[in-house]
């Protein structure tokens, strides 16, 4: 007989998650979901304290199929980080280098950015996703020139760029209002904004993990302004570190409230904390159970978000496939050159081809639909 393999399960801290205000069965929540009624904060917390993962997933899948049937979206995109030099001090980040001189610190010149894009561009790619560190030493022109260069040389690319964290930084550093920053970036070519930097919006968690960057309130305000200026944006939640269930639910409800007001969010992307190479490496990161439950609860609470994305480069291909039965209806894209998760320990593939994405989706019995960044269908449905 061979040896029995030992499964290593890291210890989680159950105390963080113990504040159940009384267990209510799924029956009542199911009723609300069937009638299309909005779920409450208490419902969200009840769902998080319920261990019936399949039951919760079933409800989320009902909503997913009510909205999208079997349609599951993907796009052809690539990521670029023009610099990883960053003034912020986020404990979960494995990507940033604090000083320009640090080993591994990089800042692309305009010419280097152009070469980087040329190496990844082909006529079917529709999106470039750009997120950068908060670099002390760059002029605002650096960013507008980058956008203009992309627009001029690669006019077919949709430029999705700069998180609310960067927008806030530009506003303070270059002494402009948020409106002015966004207007000038849009004039240079910015077409939508990614959802990063939201982490957990509540103050207690932000003070612990990212004290020196945009507040939760300002993150929402920046997206509000972006929506008013006509930009579509995305929203994320970094889960599985020091937050508790109430803080996750409050995060989701804050996004829902914002969406009621400004209606410009397209997709919600739960981001599972990856512990390698950062200052929270003592934490285990969320389990697959917790991830699937978070996908399902997000779908159920965010009744005004059209899409929920199972970002395969963060979840891994296999869990992303499962998430498609737990509320998600999008897998992101080819994601060439992703760095944030790779540097935080993600060992999966570095990119997927269009054919692989279609296979990933179709294997789950869903219909793969290619989209552009703002969810126009590409090709036949
Ligand atoms: O804001 C950083 C997260 C985000 C880690 O809008 C980490 O379409 C886990 O927002 N473990 C950036 N997460 C990525 C992001 C994103 C990705 C793909 C698509 C879109 C979109 C947005 O990544 C950061 C932070 O929340 N992050 N480090 C880590 N160690």
The pLDDT tens digits for 310-354 are 999 999 999 999 999 999 999 999 998 888 878 877 888 889 999
196 lines ligand 1 (CB under 6 A): yes
Residue nearest ligand 1's atom 6 by CA: 194
Task: Provide the pLDDT for residue 337.
Answer: 82
Q: How far is ligand 1, taken at its centre, from the CA of residue 238, in Å? A: 7
Give the pLDDT confidence of 21-43 residue by residue, as tens digits. Answer: 434 578 999 999 999 999 999 99
pLDDT at 360 over 90: yes
Using CA positions, which residue lies closest to atom 7 of ligand 1? 273
Q: Which is the closest atom of ligand 1 to the Cα of 236? A: 10
pLDDT digits (tens, 9 = 90+) for 101-115: 788 899 999 999 999
Q: Whose CA is nearest to atom 21 of ligand 1?
A: 194
For tokens 């270059």, the residue is 174
Residue 234 Cα: closest atom of ligand 1: 6
| Cβ of residue 264 lying under 6 Å from some atom of ligand 1 | no
Write the pLDDT tens digit of every residue in 154-168.
999 999 999 999 999
The reply to whether ligand 1 has any atom less than 6 angstroms from the CB of 340 is yes
Q: Indicate if the pLDDT at residue 123 is higher than 80.
A: yes
Cα of 255 vs centre of ligand 1, distance in Å, is 17
Of the pLDDT bands very low, low, confident and very high (cuts 50, 70, 90), residue 380 is confident
Tell me, in angstroms, the distance from the centre of ligand 1 to residue 196's CA: 5
Atom number, ligand 1, closest to the C-alpha of residue 285: 11
340 Cα: distance to centroid of ligand 1 (angstroms): 7
Question: Is the CB of 278 inside a 6 Å radius of any atom of ligand 1?
Answer: yes
Q: How far apart are CA 305 and CA 185, in angstroms?
A: 25
pLDDT band at 3 (very low <50, low <70, confident <90, very high): very low
Ligand 1 atom nearest to 238, measured from its CA = 26
Would the pLDDT of 306 be above 70?
yes
User: What pLDDT does 18 receive?
Assistant: 45
Q: Token pair of 257, please?
A: 């409230």
Residue 4 has pLDDT above 70, yes or no: no
Confidence at residue 149, expressed as pLDDT on a 0 to 100 scale: 98
CA separation for the pair 296, 317 (Å, rounded): 18
Residue 53's Cβ-count burial label (10 Å; 0-12, 13-18, 19+) is middle
How large is the average pLDDT for residues 286-294?
A: 97
DSSP result, 211-230: TTS--HHHHHHHHHHHHHTT
What Å distances lie between residue 16 and 49, 52, 240, 268, 285, CA to CA?
12, 20, 11, 24, 14
Number of Cβ within 10 Å of residue 289's Cβ equals 10
Cα 272 to middle of ligand 1, angstroms: 9
Please give the Cα distance from 287 to 295 (Å, whole number).
12
CATH topology of domain 19-370: TIM Barrel (3.20.20)
- Taking the domains of the chain in order of start, what are their residue ranges? 19-370
């Amino acid at each position: 007989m061979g040896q029995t393999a030992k499964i290593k399960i890291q210890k989680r801290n159950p105390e963080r998650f113990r504040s159940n205000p009384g267990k209510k069965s799924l029956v009542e929540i199911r009723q609300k979901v069937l009638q299309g009624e909005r779920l409450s904060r208490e419902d969200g917390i009840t769902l998080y304290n319920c261990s019936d993962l399949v039951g919760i997933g079933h409800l989320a899948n009902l909503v997913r199929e009510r909205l999208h049937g079997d349609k599951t979206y993907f796009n052809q995109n690539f990521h670029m980080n023009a610099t990883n030099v960053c003034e912020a001090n986020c404990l979960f980040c494995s990507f940033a280098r604090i000083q320009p001189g640090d080993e591994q610190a990089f800042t692309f010149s305009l010419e280097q950015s152009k070469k980087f894009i040329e190496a990844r561009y082909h006529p079917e790619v529709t999106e470039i996703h750009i997120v950068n560190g908060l670099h002390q030493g760059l002029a605002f022109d650096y960013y507008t020139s980058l956008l203009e260069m992309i627009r001029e040389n690669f006019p077919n690319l949709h430029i999705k760029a700069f998180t609310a964290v960067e927008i806030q930084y530009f506003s303070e550093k270059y002494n402009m209002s948020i409106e002015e920053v966004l207007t000038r970036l849009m004039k240079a070519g910015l077409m939508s904004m990614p959802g990063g930097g939201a982490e957990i919006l509540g103050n207690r968690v932000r003070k612990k993990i990212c004290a020196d960057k945009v507040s939760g309130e300002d993150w929402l305000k920046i997206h509000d302004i972006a929506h008013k200026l006509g930009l579509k944006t995305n929203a994320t939640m970094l889960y599985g570190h020091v937050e508790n269930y109430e803080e996750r639910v409050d995060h989701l409800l804050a996004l829902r409230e914002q969406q009621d007001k400004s209606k410009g969010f397209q997709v919600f992307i739960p981001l599972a904390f990856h512990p390698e190479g950062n200052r929270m490496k003592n934490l285990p990161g969320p389990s697959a159970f917790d991830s699937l439950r978070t996908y399902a609860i997000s779908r159920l609470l965010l009744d005004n978000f059209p899409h929920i994305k199972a970002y395969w480069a963060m979840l891994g291909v296999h869990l992303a496939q499962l998430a498609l039965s737990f509320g998600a209806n999008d897998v992101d894209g080819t994601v060439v050159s992703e760095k944030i998760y790779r540097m935080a320990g993600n060992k999966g593939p570095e990119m997927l081809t269009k054919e692989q994405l279609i296979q990933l989706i179709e294997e789950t019995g869903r219909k793969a639909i290619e989209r552009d960044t703002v969810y126009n269908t590409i090709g036949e449905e």
